[in-house]
Amino acid sequence: MLSIKQSPLRPPGPKTPWFGLPLLREMRRDYLGFMQRTHEAHGDIAYMRHGPEHAYDLFSPELMREALVDNAEHFIRWERGIEVFAEAFGQSVLVTEGDTWKQQRRMLTPVFSARHIAGYGALMTKAAERSLNDAVPTHESSALVDIEALMACVTMEVIMRVLFSSSAQNDARDAATATQILSASAISDMYWPFSVPTWMPWPGNTKKRWGFRTLRGLVNRHIDERKRGTTPDASTDDLLAILLAARDEHDPTRGLSDTELRDQCMVLFQAGHETSATALVWWARLVAEDGDVSRKIKRELDEVLQGREPTVADAPRLDYLQATIKEAMRLYPPVAALMSRRAVRDVRIGEWTIPRGALVRIAPWVAHHDARWFPDPESFRPERFVASAESPPRGAWMPFGAGPRVCIGQHFAMLEMTLIAAMLMQRYVLSVDSQQSLRPAGMLNVTLRPSGGMRLRLYRRASVNDAAAPSD
């Protein structure tokens, strides 16, 4: 940690007896609630101390962008968070800093260009089709479906097809469990100052070892098969093919080393399915609860698609559907708090100087629920995001982060979610079967999970005239 220079003037913030350790306990129990209360009590920037750390929380769009965009080069990500992520993702683009990160980001950016993403579209719909068709057993007209499991399965199938031209069928269950174990253990590790090596006997380490073995095994197997040329039906458009061919534009002789290739595949696999799955879970629940929204989506789908499967070219014409997804990510941003940043020199943010060595924290959740930017913030109102609506101030809606480290997969994710949501709505009417709370789990995970899971009843469209089915 950098040594901190004391600043005489600091923004207001909560009192921090016992070196602020009770605050840490409160944050661990209910991070988002804590951030919201801090904002209400102290305004758009708050200062607090816990242990040796001096932390500044930024809540307004301007201040968040000043840190993430205008002063990005004066911050690094919080070392402990990076250390924990490095355990799973090695030295990949999510983890590295400085020149190494710049070079990796440069090499990966074309992989997510509009041209390549257009190629992934067909792989996405092909992948989603089977899992969505099977969500309700063929002989049934409806089923109570575990939406978290369904979305995890669909998005995993998508990322497996797009990355490796392969189906997740045989690996899906283990890979989903491994992802959940590793996400939960990553967050809990972040509250400790160091990680106990995974080979040591320690609570949770057996599960963690299994999780790493499962995911690394899956990624390594696919890369090895591709290199041996034994992948049947390998698409020349899939992500692995593009990564293998990727060259640094500043040094065209430089491709990804074997280790880099494995690390990038691990990160794209994990980051590429868990976040989109989480967004779709909240979206499905919000749509299930709102008959008007549901009918408007269906009308748009009928007009634009006339019963056929959606394609990449259709996505921009599904304006209302995309607005429902954006609004769902406003209310329930999958990454509700960004990785904390540390100032590597004194940085001026608003009227305050954040001293070198201090931490800056940004939780998009708070701005997303701020009535100044989103009137009646707790209501689900997709109209806020339709093309003709006035945009919220820049930075008020930030589900993908901002600045140079903005999500590299944001356009991929928007396309994927649009195609999956369209295909789900073409097949089923979504309905809330029993009252389950729409509350996120108190202890923050890597992504924002619903407390107590989420089940919805899915009625086949062909059977919506059944007396039991809700009208659509």
Kindly write out the interface string for residues 222-261 of this chain, putting x where it contacts ligand HEM by CB under 6 A and - elsewhere.
----------------------------------------
**Backbone angle region of 202, left / alpha / beta, with phi > 0 → left and psi within -120 to 50 → alpha:** beta
Is 334 a residue that touches ligand HEM (CB under 6 A)?
A: yes
| Shortest separation between residue 361's beta carbon and ligand HEM, angstroms | 11
Site for ligand HEM in 25-64 (CB under 6 A): none
Is 339 a residue that touches ligand HEM (CB under 6 A)?
A: yes
| Shortest separation between residue 319's beta carbon and ligand HEM, angstroms | 18
Instruction: Give the separation between CA 325 and CA 333, rounded to whole angstroms.
Output: 10
Neighbour tally for 151: CB within 10 Å:
27
Neighbour tally for 344: CB within 10 Å:
14
Of 288, 355, 359, nearest to 76 by C-alpha is 359
Is 262 a residue that touches ligand HEM (CB under 6 A)?
A: no
Instruction: Give the separation between CA 341 and CA 404, rounded to whole angstroms.
Output: 13
Is 14 a residue that touches ligand HEM (CB under 6 A)?
A: no
Q: Given candidates 45, 288, 338, 446, which one binds ligand HEM under the rule CB under 6 A?
A: 338
**Backbone angle region of 60, left / alpha / beta, with phi > 0 → left and psi within -120 to 50 → alpha:** beta
Is 444 a residue that touches ligand HEM (CB under 6 A)?
A: no
Residue bearing tokens 């097949």: 427
| Shortest separation between residue 245's beta carbon and ligand HEM, angstroms | 17
Which segment (10-18, 118-126, 334-342, 373-381) binds ligand HEM by CB under 6 A?
Answer: 334-342
Instruction: Give the separation between CA 195 and CA 192, rounded to whole angstroms.
Output: 7
Partners of 440 in the β-ladder: 450
Kindly write out the interface string for residues 78-107 of this chain, putting x where it contacts ligand HEM by CB under 6 A and - elsewhere.
---------------xx----------x--
Instruction: Give the separation between CA 90 and CA 259, rounded to whole angstroms.
Output: 8
Look up residue 281 and give its two tokens. 């879970």
Point out the residue whose Cβ comes nearest to ligand HEM.
Answer: 409
Please return the burial class of 434, using the count of CB atoms within 10 Å of its CB with bins 0-12, 13-18 and 19+.
exposed
Which segment (48-56, 225-233, 271-279, 453-461) binds ligand HEM by CB under 6 A?
Answer: 271-279
| Shortest separation between residue 138's beta carbon and ligand HEM, angstroms | 31
| Shortest separation between residue 461's beta carbon and ligand HEM, angstroms | 26
Give the DSSP letter string of 103-167: HHHHHHGGGGSHHHHHHHHHHHHHHHHHHHHTTS-TT-SEEEEEHHHHHHHHHHHHHHHHHHS--
Is 409 a residue that touches ligand HEM (CB under 6 A)?
A: yes
For the chain, how big is the Rg over CA atoms in Å?
Answer: 23
| Shortest separation between residue 397's beta carbon and ligand HEM, angstroms | 11
| Shortest separation between residue 18's beta carbon and ligand HEM, angstroms | 29
| Shortest separation between residue 97's beta carbon and ligand HEM, angstroms | 9
Q: Residues in the site for ligand HEM, rule: CB under 6 A?
A: 93-94, 105, 267-268, 271-272, 275-276, 279, 334-335, 338-339, 399-401, 405, 407-409, 412-413
